Amino acid sequence: VLSAEEKALVVGLCGKISGHCDALGGEALDRLFASFGQTRTYFPHFDLSPGSADVKRHGGKVLSAIGEAAKHIDSMDQALSKLSDLHAYNLRVDPGNFQLLSHSIQTVLAAHFPEEFTAETHAAWDKYLAAVSAVLVSKYR
């Protein structure tokens, strides 16, 4: 459970991300695919070259969903219910990959928001992304 302070740190940075979801999300996916090649296997139908339109569009969806969930941070089970069904029942993404994506997203935030991404903000985001991931993998098996 995130404290009120941690929630504020998450929501605050979400405000700065919101206008740049495609670019930042696309970069997070580029880093994911470059550093953790096994994650590419879920996207055989995408052009996975760095900065491709597919990657940007999908990265935008991912970051927008993360921003939207922050607006419902106390009821994420409901807010993310459809996405949870999708990832568990249709996509069957191995749960370990969520940590890899969370790491890639945090790397992008650190690179683009060096002033805002203090150790405290980093810790809050780590907790937040773990909470989002926990909901998305909650319906497995």
Residues within the interface to ligand HEM (CB under 6 A): 39, 42-43, 58, 61-62, 65-66, 83, 86-87, 91, 93, 97-98, 101, 132-133, 136
Minimum CB distance to ligand HEM, residue 80 (Å): 8
- Using the minimum distance from each CB to ligand HEM, give the nearer residue, 45 or 115: 45
DSSP state for residue 49 in the 8-state scheme: S
Minimum CB distance to ligand HEM, residue 96 (Å): 9
Tell how far CA 136 is from the center of its chain.
Answer: 11
Locus of tokens 């695919």: 33
Minimum CB distance to ligand HEM, residue 78 (Å): 15
Distance CA 133, CA 17 (A): 19
Reported residue count of the chain is 141
